[in-house]
Every structure is written in structure tokens, then in C-alpha cells.
Amino acid sequence: MSCLPRWSMSRDWPLKVRLQHRLDQDGYVVFPHAPEVAAWAEAARIAGLTVLQRGGDFRHGRTWFVGVDALPNAPDGSIGGVPLAGPFMAHVTAPAQWHHAQLSVVFSGYPQQDEGESDAAHRYRRLRDAAHVDGLLPEGPDKRRHLREPHGFILGLPLDDVAASPLVVWPGSHLVMQKAFAEVFAGVQPTDCGDLDITEAYQVARRAVFEMCPRVEVAAKPGQTILLDRHLVHGVAPWAEGAAGDMRMIAYFRPQVDMAQWL
């Protein structure tokens, strides 16, 4: 299976069509700067700094603040009275209520090895950017993968202008993973999908992604938005030695859908 079934599109096509083409083909798109997104990002940055001061779930030697559901946005997505809006809205099905966004903050030196973290797990985080598909949670002592959080899409909004430790994607990997998921869940009722151990199928498909798909670091600044297909393999690059800044902040929305929609 080809990872990137590329075909050209004329620049005469409307921007919305070209962006949707990129999303369908590559599994991700970075939307251009929009003032309404920049305003939201600034309000979220201010709120995020307050969240950090309160403490919370720090991992990997305190070089990553996980921040799940940590951002105090309203159910309509607004924060500090600033509405959640932007060109991405034309490419997603907005949920009835937006969950509290994740406030993911990476610090200089990421990733350090946590006590109790295996050498293999730490090595995978360093060398493979902890590449994963969201919603497939590792469970039990053997970290068996189960589909527990079926997301409709992943929406990232950078909150500061720091290039270090960027989001990493494997363009076209969503097509590889979709094929694998279609096969492993074939004949399984949506209500039973979460109980199925898909570890082996997931790992085989992920290895295929590393062999076939290029690794791309995604650069984006406040005012831009990153939209990922729910099946796209992605991760976070280690903090490069000597990189400017001391932390990098991004907000993520992952609205959940039912199992049938995810499949």
C-alpha cells in the first residue's frame, strides 16, 4: 500500500478545497494565520500559565506537563470571553460541547527518563518521538492496547512562538492505520470494540508506517491551527540541544465520537 498517494492540485482551486485535499491525502493540515485564532491563543496562553502555577501531572523528569482537560475553556470553546473560531471550523464537525482542552507543555531537556519507566519505553520516546495513534490506551502490566477513546479529530492550537520539540507526523499514515483497523475490527460490534486487544495489529501497522511514510516535524505559531486525522500516527520530538526557549505550549481538542464513527 502506498503511504502517500500524491496527485497535483492547481493553485487556482479555492484554498478550502486545497486544504481539504491535504487533509485527505496527508492526514494533517496547518491552517494559515487567522486573527481570531491568534486572539484565542493569547487568552489560552494567559490561562495556561495560571494552570501551570497550580501544578499537576508532570512526567519524564518534569519535562512534560500532560495537562489533560486542564485548560478552563467554556463548553462553546471560548476562553476568557474570546470565542473559538477560525478557518478549521469549515473542516470539522464541531461537538455540541467542547471539552476542556489539553494543555500540553514541553520543557527544555524533554524527555528525561522517569523512575519506573523501562529503558525500551524511554528509548522509543527519544528515537521514535513516542509515535502513536490517539485513543488506543495501554492497559495492564503488559501495556495491551485497547480502543477506549474514539476521537473524531485532533485539533492543535499553538500558544507560544517556540519551535523546539515540535509535533511530529507521518503523512499518509492514517491510510495505513485505517486499513489495519478495518481488518482487526471486521465483524466486531461497535459496543465490543473496546474489549478487543489490538496490540499486535497496531504494532505491525505502526512498523509499516515507519518503513513507508516520511517523518515530518510540524512548525506552527500562535494564530495557526493544526488539524490531524484521528488515525494519523504522530508524536513529539525531543527538545533539541541548544534550542531557544525553555518551554513550548500547545492546546489540544479531541472531541469523542461513537465507535462506529471512529471506525
Query: How many independent structural domains does the chain possess?
Result: 1
pLDDT in tens, 86-113: 999 999 999 999 999 999 999 999 999 9
Long-range contacts of 47-53 (CB under 8 A, 24+ apart): 47/71, 47/72, 47/73, 47/79, 47/80, 48/103, 48/105, 48/159, 48/249, 48/251, 51/103, 52/103, 52/105
Q: Is 15 helix (H, G, I), strand (E, B) or coil?
A: helix
CA atoms of 24 and 97, how far apart (whole Å): 25
How far from each other are the two terminal CA atoms of the chain, in whole angstroms?
Answer: 19
Tell which phi-psi region holds residue 170, choosing left (phi > 0), alpha (psi between -120 and 50) or beta: beta
Give a yes or no: residue 54 inside a domain: yes
Q: Which domain holds residue 256?
A: 16-90+101-262
CATH number at residue 144: 2.60.120
In a domain, 214, yes or no: yes
Please report whether residue 42 resides in a domain.
yes
**To the nearest 10°, the Cα dihedral for 122, 126, 241, 63?**
-50
Alpha helix (H) ranges present in 7-98? 15-26, 35-54
- Per residue of the chain (263 residues), give pLDDT as tens: 457 555 455 555 567 788 888 899 999 999 999 999 999 999 999 999 999 999 999 999 999 999 999 999 999 999 999 999 999 999 999 999 999 999 999 999 999 999 989 999 999 999 999 999 999 999 998 999 999 999 999 999 999 999 999 999 999 999 999 999 999 999 999 999 999 999 999 999 999 999 999 999 999 999 999 999 999 999 999 999 999 999 999 999 999 999 999 99
Distance CA(56)–CA(68), nearest Å, equals 10
Cα–Cα dist 194/72, whole Å? 29
**Count of C-beta atoms within a 10 Å radius of residue 55:** 8
Please check whether residue 3 lies inside any domain of the structure: no
Residue 5 lies in a domain: no
Residue 142 lies in a domain: yes
